[in-house]
């Protein structure tokens, strides 16, 4: 057997360039991880409530409970949808790049979805649900005239805010790196040594 006929002497052919997919960078992993944490944090307790009932005025503690983000504010379901869409864009980025038409780049879609999710998360955390006090009207006031609910913050909203902020900063950083990479790899219009 000679070296020319050995099956081990030939290198495998390289994959075609069109089939080569980009791998995930550290920034992509950070965005994806932060989005998963945000998805989970939506359903952690965002707000805590304490109910006070007393015969002659509010003051005696009766019960306590918590509420997650979408329970307190229905518009936080939009954050849920945006996070799912951002994860889909992150996973299917190469397929989106190959779609015909004048679509925004996958990085622009990712930054837009994560940015809107961050804004809605901030709004959901800052906008505390209204508390029910003795001055309110209705059936509860007629039955229990000295009824009050005190609403405070819990840990879920803060975790969601940090996760949304990390995802947004990482997505912006990925867009900046991608943009600077495009400028660096652009072919020069004028070759050195030639005049226009």
CA 80 to chain CA centroid, nearest Å: 8
In a domain, 19, yes or no: no
Q: Residue 166 has what pLDDT?
A: 95
Domain count for the chain, please give it.
1
Which range marks the domain in which residue 98 is found?
26-182
In a domain, 10, yes or no: no
In a domain, 6, yes or no: no
Which of 63-67, 96-100, 171-175 has the weakest average pLDDT? 63-67
Q: Residue 187 has what pLDDT?
A: 43
Q: What is the pTM of this model?
A: 0.69
138-196 residue pLDDT tens: 555 555 556 677 788 889 999 999 999 999 999 998 777 766 655 444 444 444 555 54
In a domain, 88, yes or no: yes
How much is the average pLDDT of 43-71? 75
CATH number at residue 71: 1.20.140
In a domain, 5, yes or no: no
1-40 residue pLDDT tens: 555 566 566 666 665 554 445 677 888 899 999 999 999 9
C-alpha to C-alpha distance for 190 and 36, rounded to whole angstroms: 47
pLDDT at 100 over 70: yes
- The CA distances from residue 60 to 56, 57, 82, 147, 156, in Å, are 10, 8, 42, 10, 27
Q: Residue 68 has what pLDDT?
A: 85
Q: Residue 143 has what pLDDT?
A: 59
Higher local confidence (pLDDT), 62 or 182: 62
In a domain, 130, yes or no: yes
In a domain, 126, yes or no: yes
**CB-CB neighbours of 99 under 10 Å:** 9
Q: Residue 189 has what pLDDT?
A: 43
Q: Residue 77 has what pLDDT?
A: 95
Q: Tell me the residue ranges of DSSP E strands in 25-172.
A: 45-53, 61-68, 147-153
Confidence of residue 87 (pLDDT cuts 50, 70, 90): very high
Confidence of residue 122 (pLDDT cuts 50, 70, 90): very high
- Provide, rounded to the nearest whole percent, the portion of the chain with pLDDT above 70: 64
In a domain, 46, yes or no: yes
């Amino acid at each position: 057997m000679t070296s020319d006929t050995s099956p081990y002497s030939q290198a495998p052919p390289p994959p075609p360039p069109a089939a080569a997919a980009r791998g995930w960078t550290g920034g992509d992993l950070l965005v994806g991880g932060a989005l998963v944490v945000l998805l989970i944090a939506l359903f952690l307790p965002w707000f805590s409530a304490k109910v006070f009932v007393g015969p002659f005025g509010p003051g005696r503690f009766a019960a306590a409970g918590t509420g997650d983000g979408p329970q307190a504010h229905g518009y936080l379901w939009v954050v849920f949808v945006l996070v799912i869409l951002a994860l889909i864009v992150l996973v299917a980025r190469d397929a989106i790049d190959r779609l015909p038409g004048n679509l925004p780049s996958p990085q622009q879609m990712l930054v837009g979805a994560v940015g809107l999710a961050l804004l809605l998360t901030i709004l959901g955390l800052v906008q505390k649900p209204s508390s029910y006090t003795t001055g309110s009207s209705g059936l509860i006031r007629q039955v229990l005239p000295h009824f009050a609910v005190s609403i405070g913050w819990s840990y879920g909203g803060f975790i969601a805010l940090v996760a949304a902020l990390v995802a947004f900063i990482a997505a912006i950083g990925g867009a900046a790196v991608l943009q600077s990479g495009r400028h660096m790899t652009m072919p020069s219009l004028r070759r050195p040594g030639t005049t226009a």
